[in-house]
Amino acid sequence: MSEPAVMTSAAPVEVPHEGLPPGFGLGIAGKVAFSIAVVFSLFQLYTAAYGALPSQVVRSMHVGFLLLLGFGLIANLRAVSPLARSWFWGLGFLGFLTGVYNWVFYVDIIQRTGFLTRTDLVIGTLLIALVFEASRRIMGLPLALIAGIFLLYCFFGNYLPAPFIHRGYDFEQIIENFAFGTEGIYGTPIYVSAAYIFIFVVFATFLEKAGMIALFNDFALGLVGSWRGGPAQVSVLSSALMGTISGSGVANVVASGQFTIPLMKRFGFRPAFAGAVEATASMGGQIMPPVMGAVAFIMAETLNVPYADIVKAAIIPAMLYFGACFWQVHLESGKAGLGGLDKASLPNPWAAVRLHWPLLLPLAALVYLLFAGYTPIFAGTMGLALTVVLILGTPLAALIGPLAFRLVFWLAIGLGAASFMKYGVDILSLVILALLIACATFKGGRETIRICIESLAEGARNALPVGIACAIVGIVIGTLTLTGIASTFIGFIISIGKDQLFLSLVLTMLTCLVLGMGIPTIPNYIITSSLAGPALLELGVPLIVSHMFVFYFGIMADLTPPVALAAFAAAPIAKESGLKIGIQASKLAVAGFVVPFMAVYTPALMLQDAGPVAAAYGYPVEVAYILLKACLGIVLWGAAAVGFLFARMAVWERLMALAAGLLLVMALPTTDEAGFALAALCIGLHWWRSRKAVRAA
């Protein structure tokens, strides 16, 4: 769910000290940061489960904790002198006090809206400055720079020429817009971070601690390791499975790439290709249901639609994305003459599932609750609670015996399911409390409790960069709301698209890719969807499809040179140029570039509006037809990109394959018929030529 913590990758490697996991610092300062992270998680979990505080208070405290933990970790991991450490800790506590101020004076601030006191202005100014500094330190300069340009526009936009001029705003109005209320820093992005994203990041952390990564790796290795290009296929499948719980991108490259990239290189893949496979598959985790990336939750909240609708729209595109990865690995392996791993040496995938099947229960519960119409907050909380029950129950199973524990476990699950509509969270809370008391009585149980506490701390640390990005991007949203500059951009796109929708789509795509050169997917999506989303909607693009279009190209920006974050994250592991990896990744991610365009012209690809085929034959037939076209297009583009199908392809064959794929996507009169005919001719001629070459040899 989270973007990678820049500060963690830049921090020096440290050895666990005094029982603390790495990543928090050493000594007393490390213990303080660790404790803050645990309290942060407990605060967010409590408010998610019981919702006792007003939303404005939860948002302000969420930002306060982000600033306290963020500056605390900067002090512990980056500061090189005692004075610098004191300075950053001081900034962190000031940031936390801004949240406490909003909590203590919550009612007073509401009552004096429009008439802020001098203290309010000081606190608001301090909050904005600290959010900018935290963003610069944690997320890098580009995002803070973009937000700073928007903020300066609020102050000085009244001096610009038309059409960019606005009426002008005084200092107090700007501070109130950004630092109080729900239009700036405490806007929708930070609400989603506090309500949804944090829960799912902690959920993923607990699942990882419970052994879900090992299960996914063993399952992927056993299932596809023997296929042609086995190690690369394992990377694709394991990243797809990891995407179902984490939705992270660059962080997945660093985590799983340590294992998959060296394995691919030893097997015979080129370093650039090995790095590209890991980068492409890991970034696909953000579009892989059911959890997807943090953007999916922001999208659901922005569009005011159930999260399940976002998941449904993403199912087929996610299948096509990873299917394209599998297919191009298959072709590249054939071109290089590579087979698969020795099946006898691989683990049994189904044995791994039988051994660790309880880990699938929280994920199954999550999927059921999301599609049953429950809120993501409730679904994530219940999934997390079940995971905690599983982790705490493991030492008890060893103590009382597996059979007795199974009886107790299923009895508790049965009772919870029977009354969970009304008392689900309360029942699981009591079960967790009972398990904690039981585990505290013996050594193995206490070790398990320590693992849970570490998971709380690491979950908060993993959620930190996402939360900071959501806070700083509130400056951009607040500017768009205050000044109305978005309408100028929307009018520009509409003026182009009323005659040429394709040009508007290309313009939107380029905007996403350019923004993505310096900022993560979340602010990229929020900025671009605020500018281009309404314009695409005006041009007739369905609501969810228009936002998914922006979402996809925000992800593609992390794979596209010259600044491909995922590719450069894989570069040190692959020992290859990040630029070369980015070029290979752009080829592998062909579905990510094409599917959004296909969905605009044929929304059935995202299970949206029905088209002419549905009117004649029914909606399922249209979906199947669109899926067939998309799959055939991916087959052709993969062959054209790699230069291999049944054998090495000639240049004219690759051009024919590329043209046939484009005809299938264009969705114009007779282009489908021409595309199918050209595809059949291309594949037939290439098969005949390859068979002829084999007979001649």
Give pLDDT, residue 95. Answer: 95
Helix axes 619-642, 651-666, angle to 10 degrees: 160
32 vs 680: CA distance, rounded Å:
66
Q: Quick check: bond before 534 cis, omega within 30?
A: no
Report residue 89 as tokens.
């800790």
Q: Residues 20, 31: contact at Cβ < 8 Å?
A: yes
Q: Which residues contact 141 (CB under 8 A, 6 or more apart)?
A: 518
Within a domain: residue 55?
Answer: yes
CA separation (Å) from 552 to 133, 471, 579, 634? 29, 22, 21, 17
Give pLDDT, residue 68. Answer: 96
Give pLDDT, residue 677. Answer: 92
CB count in 10 Å sphere of residue 540: 11
Domain finish residue from 173, 194, 228: 173
Within a domain: residue 629?
Answer: yes
Q: Which residues contact 659 (CB under 8 A, 6 or more apart)?
A: 678
Tell me which DSSP letter residue 20 carries. Answer: B
Question: Structurally, how many domains does the chain consist of?
Answer: 2
Q: Which helix (H) or strand (E) holds 171?
A: helix 171-179
Give pLDDT, residue 67. Answer: 96
Instruction: Using CB atoms within 10 Å of the CB of residue 623, give its burial: 0 to 12 exposed, 13 to 18 middle, 19+ buried.
Output: buried
Within a domain: residue 138?
Answer: yes
Q: Which residues contact 490 (CB under 8 A, 6 or more apart)?
A: 531, 532, 534, 535, 538
352: left (phi over 0), alpha (psi -120 to 50) or beta: alpha
Give pLDDT, residue 618. Answer: 65
| 3-class DSSP assignment, residue 644 | strand
590 vs 634: CA distance, rounded Å:
8
CB count in 10 Å sphere of residue 439: 24
363 vs 634: CA distance, rounded Å:
30
Residue whose structure tokens are 């950004």: 178
Within a domain: residue 73?
Answer: yes
Within a domain: residue 108?
Answer: yes
Q: What is the mean pLDDT of each run of 10 residues along the chain (697 residues)?
A: 38 41 80 94 87 88 95 90 93 95 91 86 94 90 87 89 83 90 86 86 85 82 84 84 69 76 85 88 83 80 85 88 88 84 82 81 81 79 81 68 59 56 62 75 79 89 88 87 75 69 82 74 80 78 88 83 78 85 85 84 81 64 85 89 87 91 79 89 90 76
State whether the Cα torsion 397-242-529-132 is positive or negative.
Answer: positive
Domain finish residue from 118, 138, 173: 173
Report the DSSP beta bridge partners of residue 644.
Answer: 648
559 vs 281: CA distance, rounded Å:
10
| 3-class DSSP assignment, residue 293 | coil
Residue whose structure tokens are 């960019």: 164
Within a domain: residue 356?
Answer: no
Q: Quick check: bond before 376 cis, omega within 30?
A: no
Q: Residues 653, 687: contact at Cβ < 8 Å?
A: no
Give pLDDT, residue 663. Answer: 87
Report residue 644 as tokens.
């291999």
CB count in 10 Å sphere of residue 684: 10
Instruction: Print the SS3 string covering 337-356.
Output: CCCCCCHHHCCCHHHHHHHH
Closest CA to 205 of 336, 378, 384: 384
Within a domain: residue 359?
Answer: no
663 vs 673: CA distance, rounded Å:
9
Residue whose structure tokens are 């607040």: 478
Q: Residues 68, 36: contact at Cβ < 8 Å?
A: yes
CB count in 10 Å sphere of residue 638: 27
CB count in 10 Å sphere of residue 391: 23
- Identify residue 433 by its one-letter amino acid code: L
Q: Phi and psi of 179, rounded to 5°? A: -105, -10
CA separation (Å) from 347 to 209, 329, 352, 358, 359? 21, 21, 8, 19, 18
Report the DSSP beta bridge partners of residue 17.
Answer: 20
Q: Which value, to the nearest 10 degrees, does the dihedral of the CA atoms of residues 667, 672, 674, 675 take?
A: 90
Q: Residues 470, 302: contact at Cβ < 8 Å?
A: no
- Domain containing residue 55: 6-173
Domain finish residue from 110, 144, 173: 173
87 vs 72: CA distance, rounded Å:
10
Closest CA to 1 of 140, 221, 208, 154: 208
Q: Which CB contacts under 8 angstroms, 24+ apart, belong to 48-56?
A: 48/195, 48/198, 48/199, 48/377, 48/380, 48/381, 49/381, 49/425, 49/429, 50/425, 53/103, 54/106, 55/182, 55/191, 56/102, 56/106, 56/110, 56/182, 56/186
186 vs 412: CA distance, rounded Å:
39
Closest CA to 235 of 199, 269, 274: 274
Within a domain: residue 167?
Answer: yes
Report the DSSP beta bridge partners of residue 648.
Answer: 644
Report residue 10 as tokens.
């830049």
Closest CA to 361 of 383, 381, 336, 344: 383
Closest CA to 194 of 318, 55, 333: 55
CB count in 10 Å sphere of residue 107: 9
Question: Exposure pattern of 187-203 as b/e (b: 16+ CB <10 Å)?
Answer: bbbbbbbbbbbbbbbbb
Give pLDDT, residue 676. Answer: 92
248 vs 373: CA distance, rounded Å:
24
